[in-house]
Amino acid sequence: MNNKIKIAFIGAGNMSYEHIRSFADISNVELSGIYSRTFNKAKKLALDFSIKYVAHSIKDLYEETKADAVIVSVPELSTKLVCYEAFKFPWYSLIEKPAGININEANEILSYSRLNNHRSFVALNRRQYSSNSLVLSDLKAHTGKRLVHVYDQENPSEARESGQPQDVVDNWMYANSIHMVDYFRQYCRGDLLGIDKISDWEPNKPCFVLSRLRYSSGDIGFYEAIWEGPGPWGVTVNTQSRRWEMRPLEKAIFQDVRSRKLNNIDTDVWDQRFKPGLRRQADELIKAVRGKIHNLVSIESSLESMKIVRIIYGR
């Protein structure tokens, strides 16, 4: 009996390439088909990875492959229409972030997913970093309040110069900052009671953004973003007994109370061989298709992080 999980791909850009590499590494997975508006790019990926079928439409992709799941990796402004078409078919969908260029569009995608009873997830791959999994697991042994500091840095002018459409640049906090804001929903416990904006975002002259997030558990989060200036992406999580830091996000170090020693944790082999987070995320999608417990991010869950973005940035 053929027990292989069939995976199809929509899009033939860099992210599709990275997703394909990850799924190609999993036994009992068949790379069953690919579709892109640029047929020749899809054909090249199909040749490189022995993908069985190059489709001429999304409908054709499903009908010829009967794939169990599809990976949607297309430009941000195409995501909504591609999702509308993909949601017509009974495969699982894993959608590259952002699932909508802003919160209104994300709500439209969610509504259409529900209308079709579609099983869809958002590819927030930083949740799957080995560093992130390790810190979350370790924190279970450290009780008490947490102080979570998230450091963001964005250069929308670079995005514009690299060819990103103006609509995407105008919503850059959803396209890119969503990754960083999402850390609060993993590390801060309880209900979000409020967000205090200390330094507002100024759309016509973006510079520093600083907000405090207050949670019913007593946890406190600080979001600090530097726009058009130097700065790291990083996360620190402080408890009374241990402090964790991820900077860069792929690596984790910890410091114990009454110690000045910084303890480094090695990045696992998957995050070295593949684009970090993608190989583990691919495994989680296979679990979902097989009806097993998984930790993929639903569109509903992704929207909760987008709501925090909207409050912080006021758009």
Yes or no: say if 91 and 285 are a contact pair by the CB < 8 Å rule.
no
Superfamily name and number for 5-123: NAD(P)-binding Rossmann-like Domain (3.40.50.720)
- The C-alpha atoms of residue 227 and residue 303 are separated, in whole angstroms, by 23
What integer is the mean pLDDT of 58-85?
A: 97
Collapsing DSSP states into helix, strand and coil, what is residue 287?
helix
What burial class does residue 12 get, using C-beta atoms within 10 Å of its C-beta: 0-12 exposed, 13-18 middle, 19+ buried?
A: buried
- C-alpha 76, offset from chain centre: 13
- Separation between Cα atoms, residue 60 and residue 34, nearest integer Å: 10
Q: What pLDDT does residue 3 have?
A: 84
Average pLDDT over residues 155-183: 93
- Segment 20-41 mean pLDDT: 97
Whole-Å CA distances, 231 to 152, 154, 248: 7, 9, 11
pLDDT, average across residues 134-160: 95
pLDDT digits (tens, 9 = 90+) for 243-252: 999 999 999 9
Query: Residue 310: its pLDDT value, please?
Result: 96
Looking at 178-257, list the stretches that DSSP marks H as alpha helix, in order from N- to C-terminal side.
178-187
DSSP state of 174: I
Q: What is the pLDDT of residue 306?
A: 96
Distance of CA 63 to the CA centre of its chain: 28
pLDDT of residue 241: 96
pLDDT digit string (tens) for 205-249? 889 999 999 999 999 999 999 999 998 899 999 999 999 999 999
- What's the whole-number average pLDDT of the chain? 96
Domain borders along the chain are 5-123, 127-274+298-313
Residue-level pLDDT at 1? 38
Q: At what angle do helices 299-313 and 103-115 cross, to 10 degrees?
A: 160
pLDDT of residue 294: 97
Q: Stretch 35-40: mean pLDDT, rounded?
A: 96
- pLDDT of 240-296, one tens digit each? 999 999 999 999 999 999 999 999 998 999 999 999 999 999 999 999 999 999 999
Provide the pLDDT confidence category of residue 83 given band limits of 50, 70 and 90: very high
* Whether the predicted pLDDT of 199 surpasses 50: yes
Q: Give the per-residue pLDDT at 204.
A: 87
Q: Which pLDDT band, with edges at 50, 70 and 90, does 2 fall under?
A: low
Looking at domain 127-274+298-313, its CATH class is alpha beta
Q: Which residues of 184-217 are buried (b: 16+ CB within 10 A; e: fewer)?
A: bbbbbeeebeebeeeeebeeeebeebbbebbbee
pTM: predicted TM-score of the whole model, two decimal places: 0.94
Q: Can you read off the two tokens belonging to residue 5? A: 């999980």
- Arithmetic mean of pLDDT, 23-45: 97
